[in-house]
Amino acid sequence: KQEVTQIPAALSVPEGENLVLNCSFTDSAIYNLQWFRQDPGKGLTSLLLIQSSQREQTSGRLNASLDKSSGRSTLYIAASQPGDSATYLCAVNRNTDKLIFGTGTRLQVFP
């Protein structure tokens, strides 16, 4: 059974720091991996989608990497801002039908 773990569970940093959020999964036979952002009381917003054949994806200050063999993905946030404060979730997709989610990393960036 696929299990997805995110470390750390919570993170509080001053503005301007570069951050790394970690996601690990137990079954490397995945179709893709997706990173989401969730703001309090809101739904999930897709940030980056990495197909199993890709090593990384970039969008603005965000960079996500994927190492299938080791069952790991990292989300790198450059020059963090207070507006980045949210919960970040990773999810793996085994067969395009269902996502398995991690429990998230709650990020707070203070001025």
Partner 1 sequence: DADVTQTPRNRITKTGKRIMLECSQTKGHDRMYWYRQDPGLGLRLIYYSFDVKDINKGEISDGYSVSRQAQAKFSLSLESAIPNQTALYFCATAGQPNTGELFFGEGSRLTVL
**DSSP state, residue 27:** -
| Contacts of residue 40, Cβ cutoff 8 Å, sequence gap at least 6 | 86
For 62, the 3-state DSSP assignment is: strand
> Which one, 36 or 74, has the nearer CB to partner 1?
36
> Which one, 42 or 55, has the nearer CB to partner 1?
42
| Whether 93 contacts 33, CB under 8 Å | yes
Give the Cα separation of 9 and 55 in Å (integer).
24
**DSSP state, residue 85:** -
CB of 98: closest distance to partner 1 in angstroms? 5
CB of 51: closest distance to partner 1 in angstroms? 8
> Which one, 80 or 105, has the nearer CB to partner 1?
105
> Which one, 69 or 96, has the nearer CB to partner 1?
96
Q: Which residues bind partner 1 (CB under 8 A)?
A: 4, 31-32, 34, 36, 41-46, 49, 51, 89, 91, 93, 96-99, 101-104
